[in-house]
Amino acid sequence: MVTPTEETRKKTAAPSVSTGILFELERMAAPGRRLLFEACRKVLKDKQIVLTPVLWSRFGLTAPLAQGLGRLLAAVDKKSLAADKLANEIQELFFREITRPAVKLNAALDALLTEAARHNIKIGALSFLPAEQAQALLANLGLQERVCLQVMHKTGLAGPTPNCWLTTCNAISIPARRCVALVDNAMACNAALESGLRCIVVPDEFTAFQDFGGADHVLEDLKDVHVKDLQALLHSCSFR
């Protein structure tokens, strides 16, 4: 019986299957939601409106911002104020704040991406910032060489759709079924699941009340996510 040589075994061995991690740049890598809340609070304070996290969530002041502001202004009897004008003012302030060099990369995400790189896991991010601000944030966070960025701002969407996630999967050349999305809100979670990705949710103070039904994991802290957890989700024997 002929024993295959080492060279033959290498040639016939099944190729390794690549995997990927996807996340929203301004939500997971930076404190984007907190910065947007602070921008809203600052602008509305000048209009004698006290914004709280409860009001923020109740009126959906994430995006589309102008629509949420319109509902809030009606509720607090400030209909004379122009929601569109306020939204533009808030967004301009937010864009300035999130691209400041003082904004630092989430330390837990940094550790996870470093660990992922050692395991040859590809990394993709999507952003709803304008292209200039998205690239500036990517540079400030030191992620240019580590992350493939897809800017979705021109789509005019309030958040990621299944197509947004699939576009990002295509950008890193990994099929959706081999990718895990890291998200902090229900909209992003549902879109990721619909597109066929696995999904780990790490909600923040503004999204902890949301329904994350269907998510593979819902965790309190991103530092609890490790590469072995991603690999377990993407194992050929793992299924929903």
Domain ranges, residue 167: 11-30+105-233
Handedness of CA 152, 147, 29, 166 (dihedral sign): positive
Choose the final residue of a domain: 80, 98, 116.
98
Mean pLDDT value of segment 39-62: 91
Find the CATH number of the domain harbouring 121: 3.40.50.1000
Task: Of 71, 64, 60, give the one whose Cα is nearest residue 87.
Answer: 64
Q: How many domains does the chain have?
A: 2
Question: Using one digit for the tens of pLDDT, what is the confidence trace for 7-27?
Answer: 544 444 444 558 999 999 999
CB 138 within 8 A of CB 144: yes
Choose the final residue of a domain: 83, 98, 113.
98
Q: Structure tokens of 56?
A: 């923020």
pLDDT at residue 234, as a whole number: 87
Q: Structure tokens of 149?
A: 């960025």
Q: Structure tokens of 90?
A: 């808030």
Confidence at 154, pLDDT banded by 50, 70, 90: low
Domain contains 239: no
Rounded to the nearest integer, the mean pLDDT of the chain is: 89
Domain contains 240: no
What's the N-to-C CA distance of the chain in angstroms? 43
Q: Is 162 exposed, middle or buried (0-12, 13-18, 19+ CB in 10 A)?
A: middle
Question: Using one digit for the tens of pLDDT, what is the confidence trace for 88-113?
Answer: 999 999 999 999 999 999 999 999 99
Handedness of CA 153, 158, 160, 162 (dihedral sign): negative
Residue type, 30: A
